[in-house]
Structure 1
Amino acid sequence: MIRVAIIEDDVRIASINQRFVEKVEGFEVVGIATDRAQAHEQLDILAPDLVLLDLYFPDMSGLDLLQHIQRGYPHTDVIIITAAKEFDTVREAIRGGVYDFMIKPVVFDRFQEKLKAYRKYYEHMRQLGGANKQIDQQGIDQLLWRAGERLDRETYFPKGIDKLTSEKILSYIEESEDVWTAEELGKRGGFSRTTARRYLEYFVEKGVLVADISYGTVGRPERVYRRAENG
């Protein structure tokens, strides 16, 4: 489990964020701090893997706490959740080593997407890390791009591929063990055969599906798709 501390002075928002975290598989909230003293105490005692940090507090600056975390807790990552939209604030947070940045109010879908991306990064870091373990250029490139999260096949959609349509088709694929053709998928989702084929080929590239040729009952070749063994 990825251990999360929420540092947020608004108790209501902290409670909402806690419920959001607990709905995402692989995460648990280990503490909530609403002021500077509580934040420092929980960092010392709990040593969380991830901190969800606001920037505005009556008795401290969230950016100052971010610097404190970077200096004293090198194995703790930070995602800022704040109403702050000033460019200089965002730039300072990025330069301060924040993993990610969410603007309030945060809807659950966006929250979940960010935590899932972080979970990939966290797991990748654990695989690459270790005492005296060396890393090659590919590993460094992946870390600099947050384990490929910015450009990987789960978050980047090429021209002609829409996120909502992609998710809709993926739900059809995941709930069925059937072999699909472009025509069958088009009928199921109300798409043209050309559109269905484009998305099916996209999922082949992602490794979710594998494609094959079927000659059917009359010998006519047809491209068919089925779930990959690890898809």
Structure 2
Amino acid sequence: MIQVLIIEDDLRIAQINRRFVEKVEGYEVVGIATDEQQARDHLEIFKPHLVLLDLYFPDMKGLDLLRDIQKNDPLTDVIIITAAKEIDAVREAIRGGVYDFMIKPVVFDRFETKLKSYQKYRQKMRQLEDANKQVDQEEVDQLLWGTNEKGYKDSYLPKGIDKLTMEKIASVIHRSAEELTAEELGKRVGVSRSTSRRYLEYFVAKGELIADISYGTVGRPERVYRSTRREE
């Protein structure tokens, strides 16, 4: 379970955030702090995995607390939830190492998306730590930008590669029992042969396809592709 501490001076909003958190599987709220002393006590006692932090309090600045969290509890991550919209506050929060930033009022759908993204980040980080290995560029991209449910990066794709087309093509190639040519795949997906070939070569580069040459019985040899992971 991912343990969450809510630091918010408006108790009504804090309780709404608690209910939002508890709707997302894999999370639990370990405490609510509404002032500086409570916040510092709860941080010391609970050592939460994640803090949901407002920026404005009558007795402290949320950004000051953020800096203290990064200094004293480097394994605790922070998501800012605030009405502050000033670019300076946003910039300083990002520089301070926040995982994410949400502007009030926050609807549940966005809240859930952010928490699920953080959940995937923690899982990926734990996998890399358990493997005790050096990371490659794609793994760093996944940690920084996240992945969608199919494992493809949402925030970075090479030029000429569209996410929706990529997922449609991936669905076809990973379910196909036979080898496919660019022309055959293009007909199934509804794209041109050249477009199909571009995506096929992209998947080859990612290691999800193997390319080979089929000489057939007539005509020129053709480049054919087969999946390295078959899906039912």
Asked whether the equivalents of residues 209 and 226 of structure 1 are also in contact (C-alpha less than 8 Å), the reply is yes
Asked whether the equivalents of residues 67 and 96 of structure 2 are also in contact (C-alpha less than 8 Å), the reply is yes
Q: RMSD across aligned C-alpha pairs, in angstroms?
A: 3.8
| Greater Rg by CA | 2
Q: Compared with structure 1, are the counterparts of its residues 28 and 158 closer, same or farther at alpha carbon in structure 2 (3 Å cutoff)? A: same
Q: The residue matched to 2:141 in structure 1 has which SS?
A: coil
Shift of 1:229: 4.8
| Aligned AA (2:141) | G
Candidates 140, 145, 149, aligned match of 1:147:
140
Shift of 1:127: 4.9
Asked whether the equivalents of residues 180 and 225 of structure 2 are also in contact (C-alpha less than 8 Å), the reply is yes
Distance 2:204 2:227 in 1: 9
| Aligned AA (1:93) | A
* Mapped pair 1:28 → 2:21: no
Q: Compared with structure 1, are the counterparts of its residues 98 and 110 closer, same or farther at alpha carbon in structure 2 (3 Å cutoff)? A: closer
Partner of 1:62: 62
Aligned residues: 213
Distance 1:82 1:215 in 2: 63
Task: Structure 1: state its 5+ residue gaps.
Answer: 130-137
TM-score between the two structures when normalised by the length of structure 1 = 0.68
Shift of 1:118: 4.9
Partner of 1:135: none
TM-score between the two structures when normalised by the length of structure 2 = 0.68
Q: Compared with structure 1, are the counterparts of its residues 196 and 56 closer, same or farther at alpha carbon in structure 2 (3 Å cutoff)? A: farther
Asked whether the equivalents of residues 21 and 28 of structure 2 are also in contact (C-alpha less than 8 Å), the reply is no
Distance 1:171 1:54 in 2: 42
Distance 2:188 2:30 in 1: 46
Partner of 1:134: none
Shift of 1:158: 1.3
Distance 1:4 1:170 in 2: 36
| Aligned AA (1:12) | I
Question: 1:75-116: CA deviations, max 9, x gaps?
Answer: 212233444332211221122222343456426556544543
Distance 2:60 2:173 in 1: 49
Partner of 1:132: none
Task: Structure 2: state its 5+ residue gaps.
Answer: 147-151
| Aligned AA (2:124) | K
Asked whether the equivalents of residues 21 and 27 of structure 2 are also in contact (C-alpha less than 8 Å), the reply is no
